[in-house]
């Protein structure tokens, strides 16, 4: 790849990572509940999941999977159910935090081990078929058969690093100045809001699948 191609690839990957969606909600929730460390754990696990998808494109696995109907259907349904699960947790936590005197982060951070944040960060990538499609349709355009394997592996690693760093920045920003204070102050309503968003996304996915059978 030329220097310009690397820059274009990095910009494309950053744009993909920065797109608002369930991952953003999850990292913010982790930071609010478990503090900066929990948010960073979620971000690192998310970046690792993205790296795996990028590696799958390099070795052609993702292309095979995306053209296997039952695999894509299974991933979409599991992904939708996982978003329902996360949305329910956020709504329950947000309502409990808003109704009680105890701040949700103080009430729950001690009861949630760090591996839970890492697990959620990874699964929200692994069970998101849109990320697989992004890498097959967009990331693969930067790869050619003539490129050395090392170049392609470096590109895949860049994808994971950029994604992880972006969400790490999100996790750290939660504790910065007035923005962090506002999030802490309205942690309950914020969790409920993101929980409703996740439920909406999951129901949209499930409805699309049901309509596809008509």
Give me the pLDDT at residue 176, please: 72
CA-nearest of 149, 144, 130 to 49 is 130
- Predicted TM-score of the model (pTM): 0.80
Cα→Cα distances 104→82, 132, 183, Å: 22, 34, 12
Assigned token pair, 69: 């109907």
CA-nearest of 145, 125, 141 to 53 is 125
Cα→Cα distances 140→11, 53, 59, 64, Å: 15, 11, 11, 13
Give me the pLDDT at residue 12, please: 92
Average pLDDT per 10 consecutive residues for the chain, totaling 214 residues: 90 88 86 86 95 91 73 78 84 70 44 85 88 86 88 95 94 74 69 82 78 66
Give me the pLDDT at residue 107, please: 42
φ/ψ region of 60 (left if φ > 0, alpha if ψ in -120 to 50, else beta) reads left
What's the gap between Cα 128 and its chain centre?
8
Give me the pLDDT at residue 41, please: 94
Give me the pLDDT at residue 102, please: 47
Q: What is the DSSP string of 94-105?
A: HHHHHHSSS-HH
Q: What is the DSSP string of 108-122?
A: HGGGS-HHHHHHHHH
Give me the pLDDT at residue 140, please: 87
CA dihedral 99, 103, 107, 109 (to 10 degrees): 140
């Amino acid at each position: 790849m030329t220097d310009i191609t690397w820059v274009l690839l990095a910009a494309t990957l950053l744009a993909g990572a920065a797109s608002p969606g369930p991952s953003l909600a999850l990292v913010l929730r982790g930071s609010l509940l478990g503090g900066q460390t929990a948010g960073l754990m979620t971000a690192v696990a998310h970046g690792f999941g993205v790296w795996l998808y990028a590696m799958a494109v390099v070795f052609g696995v993702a292309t095979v999977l995306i053209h296997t109907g039952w695999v894509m259907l299974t991933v979409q349904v599991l992904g939708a159910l996982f978003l329902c699960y996360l949305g329910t947790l956020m709504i329950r936590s947000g309502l409990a935090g808003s109704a009680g005197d105890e701040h949700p982060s103080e009430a729950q951070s001690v009861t949630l081990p760090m591996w839970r944040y890492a697990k959620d960060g990874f699964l929200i990538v692994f069970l998101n078929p849109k990320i697989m499609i992004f890498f097959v349709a967009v990331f693969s355009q930067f790869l050619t058969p003539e490129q050395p394997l090392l170049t392609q592996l470096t590109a895949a690693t860049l994808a994971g690093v950029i994604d992880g760093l972006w969400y790490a920045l999100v996790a750290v920003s939660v504790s910065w100045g007035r923005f962090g204070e506002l999030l802490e102050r309205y942690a309950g309503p914020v969790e409920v809001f993101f929980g409703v968003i996740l439920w909406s996304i999951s129901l949209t996915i499930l409805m699309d699948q049901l309509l596809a059978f008509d």
